Structure 1
Amino acid sequence: MSTPELTIYFDGACGFCTAEVRALQGRDRLGALAFVDIAAPGFDAFPPGTDMPALRAQLHSVTRDGRVLKGLDSLQAAYTLVGLGWAVLPLRVRALRPPLEWAYGQFARHRYRVSRFLGLPAMAPQCDGDACRPSPYLKEAPDERRR
């Protein structure tokens, strides 16, 4: 299988985040995206220059050529790759970026509270000893796509 265009590092303990990943998976007909759950037991596949506090603070992704994207840049790339570029057009307007960055930061900081408010409970992986099943929000994918 070929390398995905974008690998997204998401918080599988966040109901909103995992629901959004499912929505992206449903639109990703060309297999351009791969997903890595940073909340999965044993996660240690950090993108270059990141650590767990950074990954928890905002969404991160890595492009096929190795560039690390953060926050709104990750969202813009993901939505564009699944044919929803029109939905993120405001992110391309320079004057709108500062307030949108601020709003994204507030959302990221309070994502668990927002998830509960929207009725999207956390869906952490289920573990029995050392064996874990992935979050039920995620579709099954070949092992290469999970990394």
Structure 2
Amino acid sequence: MKSEYCEIEAFYDGDCPLCNREVNLLKRLDRRHKIHFTDIAAPEFDPAVYGKTQDEFMQEMQGRLPDGTWVTGVEVFRRLYSAIGLRWLMLPTRLPGISQGLDYLYQHFARHRLKLTGRCQQDQCDIKSHQHEVHS
């Protein structure tokens, strides 16, 4: 993580127009610099540095906490909005029913975001491949 004051490092798909809008909003609201953003679509991004593959990063939003713990999906958004002082807005997202519904909707979006954001051609959705993939 880049800053000693960072509460979370957020890994986002910089090629996703909707994702960029959300990240730009969060950057504007992050006046205390509590979030470090890492673009997984940037040419210099190396997923192996994090012990993951590009496919793993593309599957869903990922965040890394200062202690090295990884969080994914809706939990990343809860942490991001809490970091900018909107924790109260996130509290209802933990309620039973709402939590499961948001998880389901987010998973659907994450699985289909390439198509939903116009990045597929003739039903073929390709992601940028990085040279430094982790191989098992």
Fold similarity call, TM over 0.5: yes
> Is structure 2 residue 6 aligned with structure 1 residue 12?
no
SS across alignment from 1:94: coil
Describe the shift of the 1:16–1:2 C-alpha distance in structure 2 as closer, same or farther (beyond 3 A): same
One-letter identity of the residue aligned with 1:30 = R
Aligned equivalents of 1:54, 1:17: Cα separation in 2: 17
Q: Which moved more, 1:75-84 or 1:46-55?
A: 46-55
Aligned equivalents of 1:47, 1:80: Cα separation in 2: 27
2:112 pairs, out of 87, 101, 110, with: 110
Aligned equivalents of 2:5, 2:53: Cα separation in 1: 23
Describe the shift of the 1:47–1:9 C-alpha distance in structure 2 as closer, same or farther (beyond 3 A): farther
Aligned equivalents of 1:115, 1:57: Cα separation in 2: 15
TM-score w.r.t. length of structure 1: 0.70
Task: State the Cα distance separating 1:93 from its structure 2 match.
Answer: 0.9
Structure 1: runs of 5 or more not aligned: 117-147
TM-score w.r.t. length of structure 2: 0.75
Describe the shift of the 1:98–1:52 C-alpha distance in structure 2 as closer, same or farther (beyond 3 A): same
2:38 match = 36
Higher relative contact order (CA 8 A, sep 6+): 1
Identity %: 31
2:76 match = 74
Task: State the Cα distance separating 1:113 from its structure 2 match.
Answer: 4.1
